[in-house]
Chains A and B, each alone.
Chain A
Amino acid sequence: GENVEQHPSTLSVQEGDSAVIKCTYSDSASNYFPWYKQELGKRPQLIIDIRSNVGEKKDQRIAVTLNKTAKHFSLHITETQPEDSAVYFCAASKGGGTASKLTFGTGTRLQVTL
């Protein structure tokens, strides 16, 4: 089955700096890669996703890049703010048929310091 590895497990940045979280996946058939943000005591919420026919996607201060050849994708947060502090999860899945389950990475705890 699919295996998703995520690094780093913890990340501390100063407010205003950029943060980068990286994930690799094992199944070349995976074609959907969402990123979820989970604040303390809350549910995971989708912040951005990318599909295999796209190499990069941006939404204001966040962006995701995908390298299908190398089987890795990354989350980039620019101009970090204290409210960006949370645990971030990457995930991968294969579209089509009944193979709709997401395989999650182990999470990255991002701390934005003042």
Chain B
Amino acid sequence: DAGVIQSPRHEVTEMGQEVTLRCKPISGHNSLFWYRQTMMRGLELLIYFNNNVPIDDSGMPEDRFSAKMPNASFSTLKIQPSEPRDSAVYFCASSLLAGGGDTQYFGPGTRLTVL
């Protein structure tokens, strides 16, 4: 299995530009999670999906952030417009059990730099 796949691995953009991060979960997994990691705030859950349905988006910092999961094998996290404070590593993770209590497997992350 290829594991969780994220693209791009690195993204450098200018303030105000739209950024789209992509994630392909492990085949067969039915839960998908988006995290943001910074030195100051640690590892924060932004949103998660069970069976392609958003369950909890309380961690999404503001309306500039949006996430979609159009099918079981693909999800996007979009930031529009981007700001320098959005610079962070964004991880996608997936797990098999939608009911919780199961291992989350993380992707390699996308390092986002907003200038």
- Using a CB–CB cutoff of 8 Å, the interface residues on chain A facing chain B are 31-32, 34, 42-46, 49, 51, 89, 93-104, 106-107
Contact = CB atoms under 8 A, between A and B. Distances in A.
Interface string B11-47: 0000000000000000000010100000000110100
Given A97-B100, A107-B43, 16 more contacts: A31-B101, A42-B108, A43-B91, A44-B91, A89-B43, A94-B101, A96-B100, A98-B98, A100-B31, A100-B50, A100-B101, A101-B55, A101-B56, A102-B45, A106-B42, A107-B42
A103 B58 CA distance: 13
Which size bracket describes the interface of B in this complex?
Answer: 20 to 34
A46 B86 CA distance: 26
Interface string B55-86: 11000000000000000000000000000000
Interface of B: 31, 33, 42-43, 45, 48, 50, 55-56, 91, 95, 97-109
Given A43-B109, A98-B55, A104 B42 contact: yes
Contacts of A49: 103
